[in-house]
Amino acid sequence: MALLSLTPFLSLAVFGLLAIPAGFLHFGKSKLGLAPFVCILGLAIALVSTVWLGFTSLSPVSFGGFQVDLFTLFFSGVLLIVAIFVTIASLQYMHEDPNKGPFFGLLLLSTLGMIVLAASMDLILLYVGWELMSIPTYALTAFRKRDPNSNEAAMKFFVLSALSSALIVYAISLVFGVTGSTGLTAIASSLSTAGPDFRPFGVLAIVLFIVGFGVKMAVVPFHMWIPDAFEGAPVTIGAFLAAGAKMAAFAAAFRVFIVGISAFNVDFYSTFAIVAVVTMSVGNVAALMQKSFTRLLAYSSIAQAGYILMALATPFTTTNVPLGLAGGLFHVLNYAILKTAAFVAAAAVATKLSVTDLESFNGLSRRMPQTSLSIAVIFLGLAGVPPLNGFFSKVMLFTGSIYSPYSWGGYLALTALINSGFSMSYYGWVIKRMYFDEPGDQSRIPEPRVYMAVLWAATILIFAIGLYPDPWIRLVQNAAAALVASRGL
Amino acid sequence: MIGLLSIAIFLPAVLAAPTFLLGRKNPKMAKILGVGTTVIVFAISIVILVVFQYGQAGFQLSESIPWAASFGLNYKVGIDGISLPLLMIATFLSLLSAAGSWDQITFRHAEYYALFLIFETGIIGVFTSLNLILFYLFWEIVLIPMFFFIGIWGGPRRKYASLKFLIFTYSGSAVMLFGFLALYAWTGTSAYPGGPSFDYDVLAARIPNLALPLQLAVAITTFVGFAVKLPIFPLHTWLPDAHVEAPAPVSVLLAGLLLKMGGYGLIRYNLLLFPKAVSVLWPYFTTIGLITMIYGASVALVAKDIKRMIALTSVNHMGYVLLGAFTATVAGVSGAVFQMFSHGLAVGMLFLMSGYIHEHTGTRNIDELKGLRGKMPQTVSLLFLVSMAAMAVPGFANFISEYLVIQGALSVSYLFAIAIVAPALTVGYFLWMLRRVAMTPPVGPKNELHLHSILILVAFLVPLLIFGVYPPPVLGSVIAPTVEKWVGPIVGLGAR
């Protein structure tokens, strides 16, 4: 019975391996091949089993360092939604590409790595998940191998990402040296009694973890690769990196810091608060100066990472589940939907106009009305306008920060809100371009149906979560409670 | 069980969808559905007027449904004597502005009326919601249609004006939201049984126990949000741009309703929630109000564009609301509420009229409008009447409200006698405008408004005159009981 809870993982692994040979099979004259359908089937089985498990298995199932609890299932659900959106959009985006088998196979395997990250209660498993997630994404970023931009992006991404992996391994080895264990619960109990001699090593390990995860989470000052990678990679892979890989890194950070390190008597909360403030401010200010749509999305995603980091800056007691942590998970969900949809919209524009500089968005509402409407909704959601989904997660995050026992909690929330207000200037600027400016070319552009399907699905989700947030709030509260409970104290 | 208020709030938003879908192919259909919905909503508000129990102070027609109970959010609406006058002008001005749009909006009708109805949902929601997050939600819903109104249907500098409007007001609301969230967190600790809440009545009961520095922090941050909307002197610069660039019916909504959101917020969510903080802050807030009044009037004096002049009248007149509210006297607060009611009508009429004049003469420059009497004699007579209302000539509701505000201010301190400069300046710029536009030799040929346009304009004047001559129905039996209930204890705290 417990093995049933492995269904999402097994489905991704099996179909991921099947997708690569399936790329060689075609129905009749269709160029599409079998690979994308194998991919969608694998993701669908994984998502359905995740949702089913979420409703039925109330107690966590643990296989040593591998734990399937509500936190795992929550992240698995979010990441699978992202992967499904990315796959469907790639049907159109990769339509002409001959190498569909590897593309969709790598996509599935990388998704598997991400949800393994969310499930890992052991640092070695966490590292395996981390690499399983990262290595396919290097190949995916460089997928347009004749395109120099794609290669440059992949190279930059690879070098920094490899560095981050190395730092994480170093941090793991330090933690092992101090505690003699790689299991997070064992680390927690060992750290809570660690003597003063071990303290410097513990602190160094924390710093290395922050930097290592920080590269993938794109926190300032480790964010430099993000705009280049998002711009050079195939646009749908940009979505996968921005919404998938980044959120998976947050899942890893939540596990390691909340379960493992929070027992250690070190104030990493203030560090995260400072990093959060710097990240959101730099992201928002830099986004205002961008001339390309994908770069703007990249900086806005940096700013959003700053908001989610606030969840790691809210300390908690064992008795109550902090609102900020639940808000952080809620923002992970909302951000993932919004960001994937934003990149899919960018892909829709890019396939039709072949450029994504902001100039080409002038008067887009007359040329691509459905795309423009969904971009407007997505951007208002990212800015946190009610009744869209981004609003409630921000409210929970910021309120959680005000609850913080630290005296800086209120100032952190105020800074975040001012940032949130400021971010409207570039989101509004793009909406202004789409709706108020005159297009250079008046011709109506046919809007690809596949992208529109994804965009409408996302728009409906954005409104549904925003108008009736209650079930979602309960979901994230339970997921946060599961995370806190997995400390086993 | 869905009550009257919920129907009034959500009917426009629900009908926005058919208006957009049916109106895309057939602009006439969009107009009929758009104006028709505002008529129905106005009819509902008349029913509310009948059902409302006069002379009572508490919230009436309340509805409460759990919305996201896991986070202390409830869908909670209700009205009292402070919200009823504003609810009435919201539905009334929406109706008149939609009717005025019939001629003045000439393209993209389906989008216009759909956004218009969403705006109406937002504005009615702001005046009726009794939960802080619900209030914020409606507050922001108002913002988005307005951004599009100015940006798509506006004048030559519409892009600049719309973005400036959006950034100013959205940043203001972000600061305000901090106040709300802080209030939730600080009154949600274990010291307050019942768990954290965003409900207005729960918070009102808890705030007296909150430490004064925390009260001050919330009072100041929410003040910033409301003050941007009101607007107050240093934060007002979005207003002349937005009002001048917006199409005339939208300027009616902006000046008549959007600014009232700021005034309503100041009274409901600042003055009445934080009596202790107000007893510390009132000298600063009233001084800002005084400066805003005099500044707005002085700048209006030199405006060349008649629409810009009218826009600055709003700065001038909304300063009274700030001054009156934070004198924390029964007279001052009642005057502030009544001022919002009467100013909404007067300035709405002025804006709509400026739109008609622009449409018929092709200019809004006051100097070029010389001899308008020859072209539009009936309009000029109406311009005289509405200018008298805006100047607060006795007989118009504006006189009563401004009188009450200044009376309230004087009862607090003789220094407020300086406030009398503002009405004097107001009379000055209106008379000078009339001198140039109306009292010059008539220039032909005659090009008068249609009868229906004249009737729309007259509709603004009727309540102004009725309640100017006989204010008790609004002032005595609606506003006063509520204000006495809330402000009475504040006076007892020794605000002065």
What's the Cα-to-Cα distance from A336 to each of A393, A418, A461, rounded to whole Å? Answer: 12, 22, 11
Mean pLDDT of B266-282: 89
Whether residue B441 has a cis bond before it, omega within 30° of 0? no
pLDDT at B406 over 50: yes
So what's the ipTM on this one?
A: 0.92
pTM above 0.80, yes or no: yes
Sorted by sequence, the CB contacts under 8 Å of residue B486 that are 6+ apart come out as B57, B272, B333
Q: How far apart are CA B466 and CA A249, in angstroms?
A: 66
Query: Residue A234 in contact with residue A92, Cβ under 8 Å?
Result: no
Cα–chain-centroid distance for residue A28?
A: 37
CB contact under 8 Å between B137 and A410, yes or no, is no
CB contact under 8 Å between B162 and A425, yes or no, is no
Q: How far apart are CA B92 and CA B121, in angstroms?
A: 13
Q: How far apart are CA A75 and CA A50, in angstroms?
A: 10
Q: What was the pLDDT predicted at B495?
A: 42
Q: How far apart are CA B176 and CA B108, in angstroms?
A: 34
3-state helix, strand, coil in chain B (%, to 5): 80, 5, 20
CA distance B174 to chain A (A): 5
Contacts B169 to A, Cβ<8 Å: none
Per-residue confidence at A317, pLDDT binned at 50, 70, 90?
A: low
pLDDT at B492 over 60: no
Q: What was the pLDDT predicted at B493?
A: 44
Tokens 């407007």 found at:
A376
pLDDT at B116 over 80: yes
The shortest CB-CB distance from A425 to any of B143, B167, B188 is to B167
Residue of B nearest to A395 (CA): B181
Token pair for B98: 């939609």
pLDDT at A210 over 60: yes
Q: Which of B286, B320, B164 is nearest to B228 (CA)?
A: B164
Q: How far apart are CA A223 and CA A303, in angstroms?
A: 10
Percentage of the residues of chain B whose pLDDT score is greater than 70: 98
Contacts A383 to B, Cβ<8 Å: 170
What's the Cα-to-Cα distance from A86 to each of A229, A244, A344, B417, rounded to whole Å? Answer: 17, 10, 8, 67
Task: Supply the mean pLDDT for chain B.
Answer: 90
Token pair for B97: 């502005």
pLDDT at B494 over 60: no
Q: What was the pLDDT predicted at B1?
A: 60
Per-residue confidence at B491, pLDDT binned at 50, 70, 90?
A: low
B83 contacts chain A (CB < 8 A): no
CB contact under 8 Å between B170 and A410, yes or no, is no
Q: CB burial class (10 A; 0-12, 13-18, 19+) of residue A289?
A: exposed
Q: What was the pLDDT predicted at B382?
A: 93
Q: How far apart are CA B470 and CA A11, in angstroms?
A: 77
A278 contacts chain B (CB < 8 A): no
Count of CB contacts below 8 A, A vs B? Answer: 100
Contacts B215 to A, Cβ<8 Å: none
Mean pLDDT of B247-273: 92
pLDDT at B398 over 60: yes
Query: Looking at per-residue confidence, does A28 or A104 come out higher?
Result: A104
Query: Residue B494 in contact with residue B279, Cβ under 8 Å?
Result: yes
User: Is B79 in a helix, a strand, or coil?
Assistant: strand
B68 contacts chain A (CB < 8 A): yes
CB contact under 8 Å between B188 and A396, yes or no, is no
Query: How many Cβ atoms from other residues are within 10 Å of residue B326's Cβ?
Result: 30
Q: What was the pLDDT predicted at B254?
A: 92
Q: How far apart are CA A142 and CA A138, in angstroms?
A: 6
Contacts A314 to B, Cβ<8 Å: none
Per-residue confidence at A70, pLDDT binned at 50, 70, 90?
A: very high
Mean pLDDT of B447-470: 91
pLDDT tens profile A4-48: 888 999 999 999 999 888 888 777 667 777 888 899 999 999 999
Mean pLDDT of A378-404: 91
A436 contacts chain B (CB < 8 A): yes
Per-residue confidence at A132, pLDDT binned at 50, 70, 90?
A: very high
Query: Residue B54 in contact with residue B478, Cβ under 8 Å?
Result: yes
Token pair for A458: 């996302």
What's the Cα-to-Cα distance from A227 to each of A95, A296, A339, B383, rounded to whole Å? Answer: 25, 8, 14, 57
A234: left (phi over 0), alpha (psi -120 to 50) or beta: beta
Residue of A nearest to B217 (CA): A410
CB contact under 8 Å between B163 and A425, yes or no, is yes
What's the Cα-to-Cα distance from A404 to each of A171, A271, A332, B177, B454, rounded to whole Å? Answer: 28, 14, 20, 18, 60
Q: What was the pLDDT predicted at A320?
A: 63
What's the Cα-to-Cα distance from A351 to each of A96, A168, A236, rounded to whole Å? Answer: 12, 38, 11
Q: What was the pLDDT predicted at B473?
A: 85
Q: How far apart are CA A367 and CA A437, in angstroms?
A: 12
CB contact under 8 Å between A435 and B148, yes or no, is yes
User: Is B24 in a helix, a strand, or coil?
Assistant: coil
Contacts B67 to A, Cβ<8 Å: 468, 470
pLDDT at A259 over 60: yes
A477 contacts chain B (CB < 8 A): yes
Mean pLDDT of B251-265: 93
The secondary structure of chain A, three-state, reads CHHHHHHHHHHHHHHHHHHHHHCCCCCCCCCCCCHHHHHHHHHHHHHHHHHHHHHHCCCCEEECCEEECHHHHHHHHHHHHHHHHHHHHHHHHCCCCCCHHHHHHHHHHHHHHHHHHHHECEHHHHHHHHHHHHHHHHHHHCCCCCCHHHHHHHHHHHHHHHHHHHHHHHHHHHHHHHHCCCEHHHHHHHHHCCCHHHHHHHHHHHHHHHHHHHHHHCCCCCCCHHHHHHHHCCHHHHHHHHHHHHHHHHHHHHHHHHHHHHHCCCCHHHHHHHHHHHHHHHHHHHHHCCCEHHHHHHHHHHHHHHHHHHHHCCCCCCCCCCHHHHHHHHHHHHHHHHHHHHHHHHHHHHHHHCCCEHHHHCCHHHHCHHHHHHHHHHHHHHHCCCCCHHHHHHHHHHHHHHHCCCCCHHHHHHHHHHHHHHHHHHHHHHHHHHHHCCCCCCCCCCCCHHHHHHHHHHHHHHHHHHHCCHHHHHHHHHHHHHHHHCCCC
Q: What was the pLDDT predicted at B133?
A: 93
pLDDT tens profile B60-96: 889 999 888 878 788 999 999 899 999 999 999 999 9
Query: How many Cβ atoms from other residues are within 10 Å of residue A481's Cβ?
Result: 17
pLDDT tens profile A162-177: 999 999 999 999 999 8
pLDDT at B323 over 70: yes
Query: How many Cβ atoms from other residues are within 10 Å of residue B103's Cβ?
Result: 17
Q: What was the pLDDT predicted at A414?
A: 93
The kind and range of the H/E element at B200 are: helix B200-206
pLDDT at A308 over 90: yes
CB contact under 8 Å between B167 and A383, yes or no, is no
CA distance B193 to chain A (A): 16
Query: Residue A60 in contact with residue A92, Cβ under 8 Å?
Result: no
Q: What was the pLDDT predicted at B328?
A: 87
What's the Cα-to-Cα distance from A360 to each of A33, A365, A447, B111, rounded to whole Å? Answer: 33, 11, 15, 23
Sorted by sequence, the CB contacts under 8 Å of residue B424 that are 6+ apart come out as none
Token pair for B33: 């559905």
Beta-bridge mates of residue A183: A122
Q: What was the pLDDT predicted at B489?
A: 67
Q: How far apart are CA B395 and CA A207, in angstroms?
A: 73
Sorted by sequence, the CB contacts under 8 Å of residue B31 that are 6+ apart come out as B23, B101, B102, B109, B113
pLDDT tens profile A427-440: 999 999 999 988 87
| Interface with chain A: mutation pick from B71, B142, B158, B214, highest number of A CBs within 10 Å | B71
The half-sphere exposure of B465 on its side-chain side, counting CA atoms within 13 A, is: 10
